[in-house]
Amino acid sequence: MEKSAVVDWPPAISDSQLEALTLLATTYALSHGLVYLPAGNVQPPAPTSVIHAPIALFPSPIPRHLFLLAQTLQRTYNVLYARVATDEKFLDRVMGEVEGVGKVDEFTGQLWRRWRKLRDEGIVQPVQLGLFRSDYLLHAPDGADPSLKQVEFNTISSSFGGLSQQTAGLHKYLYKSTEYYKSSPHLKKENFPPNNTIAGLAEGLAEAHKAYNVANTRILFVVQDGERNVFDQRWLEYELLEKHSIHVIRQSFNQLLHSAKVDPETRALRVMPPNSLLSDGSESVEISTVYLRAGYTPIDYPTSAHYDLRYLFESSRAIQCPSIQLQLAGGKKVQEVLTKPGVLESFLMNEARWGTGVVPREEVDRLRASWMGMWGLDEEIDSDGTTHEGLGVLRARELSASLVLKPQREGGGNNVYKEAIQPFLDSLPPQEREAWIAMRLIAVPEGLGNYLVRAGGGTDGAVKTEVVSELGIFGWALFGGADGGVKEKEVGWLLRTKGKDSNEGGVAAGFSVLDSVVLVD
C-alpha cells in the first residue's frame, strides 16, 4: 500500500466542489432511503419526516489485501461461533451463573438462567441462525505497514447492512457523476468493491424460513420502541418479500408481551398483528424465525416479564436469530477466552470432534493473527478466603495508557479508555471484575481524514477532520440440525468512520458516520 494513500486523504478539492458534492450526497441519500427518523422523545405511529443518515463524503482507503483477508476470515468466524454456541459446557464455564460472567453480571445471568431452564425442559428447536458481523481496525504501530485487527464479533442485531449498501451506492454515484473532480488516482471504478449486503442477509433469513418448512408462516422482526434506524431494517423486509415471497411482522418487546403466544401442543409461536385480522380471516400468524434487532441491552428488559418473553420465544419451535446461547457466545469474555492457547484450536482443529469439518492450520493461524492481546480482570482469592487484586487488574493498571476495558454490552458507549481506566478500577467492586476484559488498543494509521456530513448542516455541513475507519464484514450461519453441519456464507460489508477524538464507534449511538471502501494497493 502506497504511503500517500494512507496519509493524503481526503483528496484536495475546492470550496465550490465541496459544496457541490455535499448537495449531491445529501439529495442522493434522501432519494435512496439512506435515512433515519428524526430525533425526538415521541414518534408518531407512522413516520412523517426523515433526515439523511450521517455519511462520509469520500470513501475511505483500505488496503486491498486486508479487505480480501477480512472477507476470507469471515467464513472461518462463521463456523467458529456456530460451534461455540453449541458447546454447552464451554458457555456454562465462561458465561454461566455458577462459574462465569453470569454470576456477577445480572443481564448475562438473566439470559443464562433462562437458557438453563430451557435445557432442563428440553429445547424444542435445535436449529439456530446467526447473522454476524466481525469488526476490524487497521493496526499500524509506529508507522508500520498496516495489519488487520479485530475489534469485536457481533452475534446479535448486527446492524447497518442495508444502509451500508446504500452508502456504497452513494459513493459510486458521486464518482460516476463527478469523478470526484479527478482529485485522486485511487478513485476509479475498479477500486469500488461491490456491496450486496441486503441480499446476503436476507438470504440467511430465508434459509432459516425454508428450514422451518411450514406454509403461510412469517418472520418476526423484534424491534426497539422509538427505533430511529428503522429503514436499515426495512430494506431487509422488502428484500424478503420481493425476492423470497416471505412476509415480515415487526413488533417491539412491549407489543409482544400481549400479542405472542406459544401453542402448548405444537409449540408453534403465534403472533397477533395489531388492529386487524389477517387476509385469510385468522387472528394470528405462525412465526418461522425470530430475528432480534432488540434484546442486546438491559434497557430492552425493564421487567422480568420481558426476560420471560425471551424465554417464550426460545421455548417455541421457531428458529431463533440469535438464540440465547448464540448471544452469550458473542460476549467479550468469550472473545478473550478464545485467545488462550489451544482454545481456538479445540473448536476448529480437533479431528476427533469435527471430522471432515477440521479447519486447516493456515486458516486458524490467520484468524488468531487478527487478535490483539487481551485478558480478564478476574479477582484472585487466597486460601483463607481473602481477596486481593489479581494479576489481570495489576497489569491493566500498569498498561492503562495503551488499553481499553470492555464489558458484556453491545450498542456503543460502554467501554473505558486510557486515562479513565485507573479511576474506574478504583471504583469497580472486586466481585464485578469478571464481567470485564482488558484489550490492547489498536494503533490506527495516522493522517487519514474525511468530510463528515450530518443532517441539518446544508451544503456547509461537511466537516473535515482526522478520522478512524472501522471495517465490518457480514456473514450468516445456519446450524444445530441433526447432521451437525454448518451452512454459512460471507455476505457483505460496512465501513463506519468517526472523528479520531472519539473513542466509541456506534452510528446509532451518535459517534460515527456511514462510509464505504475504496481499495488501494
Residue 152 parent element (H or E): strand 147-154
Is position 133 annotated as part of the catalytic site? yes
Is position 400 annotated as part of the catalytic site? no
Query: Is 349 in a helix, a strand, or coil?
Result: coil
Q: Among the options 370, 492, 496, 516, which is catalytic?
A: 496
Is position 254 annotated as part of the catalytic site? no
Annotated binding residue 498: yes
Annotated binding residue 315: no
Annotated binding residue 54: no
Annotated binding residue 109: no
SS3 annotation, 34-85: CEECCCCCCCCCCCCCCEECCEECCCEEEEHHHHHHHHHHHHHHHHHHHHHH
Q: Is cis: bond before 194, omega within 30 of 0?
A: no
Annotated binding residue 265: no
Q: Among the options 149, 317, 333, 406, which is catalytic?
A: 406
> Which among 394, 367, 364 is positioned nearest to 378, based on CA atoms?
394
Is position 512 annotated as part of the catalytic site? no
Annotated binding residue 133: yes
Is position 411 annotated as part of the catalytic site? yes
Annotated binding residue 418: no
Q: What is the CA radius of gyration of the chain?
A: 23
Measure the CA–CA gap between 258 and 244, rounded to whole angstroms. 29
Is position 406 annotated as part of the catalytic site? yes
Annotated binding residue 64: no
Determine the distance from the C-alpha atom of residue 174 to the mean position of all C-alpha atoms in its chain, rounded to a whole number: 28
Each residue of 370-383: b (16+ CB within 10 Å) or e?
A: bbbebbbbbbeeee
Is position 454 annotated as part of the catalytic site? no
Annotated binding residue 414: yes
Is position 159 annotated as part of the catalytic site? yes
Annotated binding residue 329: no
Q: Among the options 169, 357, 411, 499, which is catalytic?
A: 411
Annotated binding residue 254: no
Q: Among the options 332, 333, 433, 489, which is catalytic?
A: 332
Cβ pair 390, 380 in contact under 8 A: yes
Q: Among the options 78, 97, 130, 152, which is catalytic?
A: 152
Annotated binding residue 252: no
Is position 250 annotated as part of the catalytic site? no
Measure the CA–CA gap between 118 and 128, rounded to whole angstroms. 15
Q: Among the options 75, 83, 133, 149, which is catalytic?
A: 133
Q: List Cβ neighbours of 98 (8 Å cut-off, separation of 6 or more).
A: 92
Q: Among the options 60, 78, 134, 159, which is catalytic?
A: 159
Q: Among the options 286, 410, 488, 490, which is catalytic?
A: 410
Is the alpha carbon torsion for 39, 40, 46, 49 positive or negative? negative
Residue ranges at the known binding site:
133, 152, 154, 156-159, 227-229, 233, 293-296, 332, 406-415, 417, 439-442, 470, 496, 498, 504, 507-508
Catalytic residues: 133, 152, 154, 159, 332, 406, 410-411, 496
Residue ranges at the known binding site for ATP:
152, 332, 406-415, 417, 439-442, 470, 498, 504
Residue ranges at the known binding site for Mg(2+):
152, 154, 410
Residue ranges at the known binding site for substrate:
133, 156-159, 227-229, 233, 293-296, 496, 507-508
